[in-house]
Protein backbone atom coordinates (compact mmCIF):
# COMPACT_ATOMS: atom_id res chain seq x y z
CA UNK A 1 0.00 0.00 0.00
CA UNK A 2 1.36 3.39 -1.00
CA UNK A 3 -1.11 5.74 0.74
CA UNK A 4 -4.18 5.32 2.97
CA UNK A 5 -6.90 7.97 3.06
CA UNK A 6 -8.32 9.13 6.38
CA UNK A 7 -11.01 11.30 4.80
CA UNK A 8 -12.26 11.24 1.23
CA UNK A 9 -13.21 8.51 -1.20
CA UNK A 10 -11.12 8.36 -4.39
CA UNK A 11 -13.28 7.02 -7.22
CA UNK A 12 -11.35 7.72 -10.41
CA UNK A 13 -8.11 6.94 -12.19
CA UNK A 14 -4.89 8.74 -11.33
CA UNK A 15 -2.74 10.88 -13.59
CA UNK A 16 1.05 11.13 -13.16
CA UNK A 17 3.39 14.08 -13.72
CA UNK A 18 6.97 13.86 -15.00
CA UNK A 19 8.33 13.73 -11.42
CA UNK A 20 6.23 10.67 -10.56
CA UNK A 21 3.62 12.49 -8.46
CA UNK A 22 0.13 11.08 -8.73
CA UNK A 23 -2.95 13.32 -8.92
CA UNK A 24 -6.55 12.32 -8.30
CA UNK A 25 -9.93 13.29 -6.96
CA UNK A 26 -12.01 12.17 -4.01
CA UNK A 27 -15.81 12.48 -4.18
CA UNK A 28 -16.05 13.62 -0.56
CA UNK A 29 -13.69 14.86 2.12
CA UNK A 30 -12.21 18.32 2.35
CA UNK A 31 -14.44 21.19 3.42
CA UNK A 32 -17.26 20.26 5.78
CA UNK A 33 -19.30 23.24 4.53
CA UNK A 34 -20.86 21.13 1.78
CA UNK A 35 -24.61 21.70 1.46
CA UNK A 36 -25.27 18.40 -0.31
CA UNK A 37 -25.22 16.29 2.86
CA UNK A 38 -21.94 14.54 2.07
CA UNK A 39 -18.99 14.46 4.49
CA UNK A 40 -17.29 17.19 2.49
CA UNK A 41 -17.66 18.34 -1.12
CA UNK A 42 -14.55 16.56 -2.40
CA UNK A 43 -10.89 17.26 -3.01
CA UNK A 44 -8.13 17.15 -5.58
CA UNK A 45 -5.07 15.47 -4.07
CA UNK A 46 -1.52 14.49 -4.94
CA UNK A 47 0.50 11.52 -3.66
CA UNK A 48 4.24 11.02 -4.16
CA UNK A 49 4.85 7.68 -5.86
CA UNK A 50 8.27 7.57 -4.15
CA UNK A 51 7.28 8.28 -0.54
CA UNK A 52 3.50 7.77 -0.41
CA UNK A 53 3.08 11.18 1.20
CA UNK A 54 -0.17 12.79 0.16
CA UNK A 55 -1.69 16.24 0.42
CA UNK A 56 -4.80 18.03 -0.69
CA UNK A 57 -4.40 20.52 -3.52
CA UNK A 58 -7.94 21.90 -3.55
CA UNK A 59 -11.02 21.46 -1.38
CA UNK A 60 -14.38 22.06 -3.06
CA UNK A 61 -16.84 24.17 -1.09
CA UNK A 62 -20.19 23.48 -2.74
CA UNK A 63 -22.40 26.20 -4.25
CA UNK A 64 -21.51 28.49 -5.77
CA UNK A 65 -18.19 26.60 -5.99
CA UNK A 66 -18.02 23.16 -7.51
CA UNK A 67 -18.72 19.92 -5.64
CA UNK A 68 -18.11 16.18 -5.75
CA UNK A 69 -15.54 15.30 -8.40
CA UNK A 70 -16.12 11.81 -9.79
CA UNK A 71 -13.83 11.64 -12.80
CA UNK A 72 -10.17 11.30 -13.57
CA UNK A 73 -7.99 14.34 -14.11
CA UNK A 74 -6.10 15.15 -17.31
CA UNK A 75 -2.92 17.23 -17.61
CA UNK A 76 -2.05 19.76 -20.29
CA UNK A 77 1.43 20.52 -21.63
CA UNK A 78 1.87 23.35 -19.09
CA UNK A 79 1.21 21.03 -16.12
CA UNK A 80 -2.33 22.24 -15.33
CA UNK A 81 -4.87 19.59 -14.41
CA UNK A 82 -8.50 19.56 -15.52
CA UNK A 83 -11.42 17.66 -14.10
CA UNK A 84 -15.17 17.66 -13.67
CA UNK A 85 -17.52 17.87 -10.71
CA UNK A 86 -20.83 16.03 -10.58
CA UNK A 87 -22.59 18.86 -8.73
CA UNK A 88 -22.15 22.53 -8.01
CA UNK A 89 -21.01 25.17 -10.42
CA UNK A 90 -23.00 28.27 -11.28
CA UNK A 91 -26.18 26.26 -12.04
CA UNK A 92 -25.79 23.26 -9.72
CA UNK A 93 -25.40 20.85 -12.67
CA UNK A 94 -21.64 20.27 -12.44
CA UNK A 95 -18.59 21.91 -13.95
CA UNK A 96 -15.23 21.57 -15.63
CA UNK A 97 -12.40 23.03 -13.54
CA UNK A 98 -8.69 23.74 -13.94
CA UNK A 99 -5.99 23.66 -11.26
CA UNK A 100 -2.62 25.22 -11.91
CA UNK A 101 0.60 23.75 -10.46
CA UNK A 102 0.21 25.68 -7.19
CA UNK A 103 -3.41 24.59 -6.62
CA UNK A 104 -5.10 27.75 -7.91
CA UNK A 105 -8.52 26.74 -9.20
CA UNK A 106 -10.63 28.30 -11.95
CA UNK A 107 -13.90 27.29 -13.56
CA UNK A 108 -13.61 26.44 -17.23
CA UNK A 109 -17.35 25.77 -17.67
CA UNK A 110 -20.50 25.43 -15.55
CA UNK A 111 -23.14 23.10 -17.01
CA UNK A 112 -26.74 24.32 -16.96
CA UNK A 113 -28.40 20.90 -17.06
CA UNK A 114 -30.10 21.95 -20.32
CA UNK A 115 -29.06 21.30 -23.90
CA UNK A 116 -25.38 21.80 -22.97
CA UNK A 117 -25.49 18.85 -20.57
CA UNK A 118 -25.30 18.32 -16.83
CA UNK A 119 -23.79 16.16 -14.07
CA UNK A 120 -20.61 14.92 -15.78
CA UNK A 121 -19.46 11.62 -14.26
CA UNK A 122 -16.96 10.04 -16.63
CA UNK A 123 -13.43 11.12 -17.34
CA UNK A 124 -12.36 13.46 -20.06
CA UNK A 125 -9.53 13.50 -22.56
CA UNK A 126 -7.35 16.32 -23.85
CA UNK A 127 -6.07 16.56 -27.42
CA UNK A 128 -2.78 17.97 -28.73
CA UNK A 129 -4.39 21.40 -29.21
CA UNK A 130 -5.49 21.48 -25.55
CA UNK A 131 -9.21 20.93 -26.23
CA UNK A 132 -11.10 18.92 -23.61
CA UNK A 133 -13.67 16.26 -24.52
CA UNK A 134 -16.04 14.51 -22.14
CA UNK A 135 -19.58 13.37 -21.49
CA UNK A 136 -22.44 14.36 -19.23
CA UNK A 137 -24.95 12.02 -17.64
CA UNK A 138 -27.92 14.37 -18.10
CA UNK A 139 -28.95 17.26 -20.34
CA UNK A 140 -28.76 17.40 -24.11
CA UNK A 141 -31.99 16.30 -25.82
CA UNK A 142 -34.43 17.03 -23.00
CA UNK A 143 -37.26 15.15 -24.76
CA UNK A 144 -35.27 11.92 -24.37
CA UNK A 145 -35.89 11.60 -20.61
CA UNK A 146 -38.08 14.59 -19.68
CA UNK A 147 -37.15 16.90 -18.07
CA UNK A 148 -33.58 15.65 -17.55
CA UNK A 149 -32.29 14.55 -20.95
CA UNK A 150 -30.00 11.68 -21.87
CA UNK A 151 -26.59 13.35 -21.78
CA UNK A 152 -24.08 14.94 -24.14
CA UNK A 153 -20.60 14.70 -25.54
CA UNK A 154 -18.89 18.05 -25.02
CA UNK A 155 -15.82 19.83 -26.36
CA UNK A 156 -14.29 22.79 -24.51
CA UNK A 157 -11.39 25.00 -25.45
CA UNK A 158 -10.00 26.29 -22.14
For residue range 55-72, list pLDDT tens digits in order. 889 988 877 778 889 899
What CATH number does the domain located at 15-156 have?
2.120.10.30
Residue ranges per structural domain of the chain: 15-156
Maximum average pLDDT range among 6-10, 100-104, 110-114 = 110-114
* Sequence-ordered list of residues with C-beta below 8 angstroms from that of 107, at least 6 positions apart, any chain: 66, 89, 90, 95, 96, 97, 98
Q: What is the mean pLDDT of residues 34-53?
A: 84
In this predicted structure, what is the pLDDT of residue 84? Answer: 94
End-to-end CA distance of the chain: 36
The answer, yes or no, to whether residue 137 has pLDDT greater than 90, is yes
pLDDT-wise least confident of 65-69, 86-90, 116-120, 145-149 = 65-69
Amino acid sequence: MLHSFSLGSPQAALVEDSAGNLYGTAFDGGSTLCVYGNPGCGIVFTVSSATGKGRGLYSFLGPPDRANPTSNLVRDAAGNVYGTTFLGGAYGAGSVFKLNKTGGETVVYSFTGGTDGGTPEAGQIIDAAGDLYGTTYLGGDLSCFPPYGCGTVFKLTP
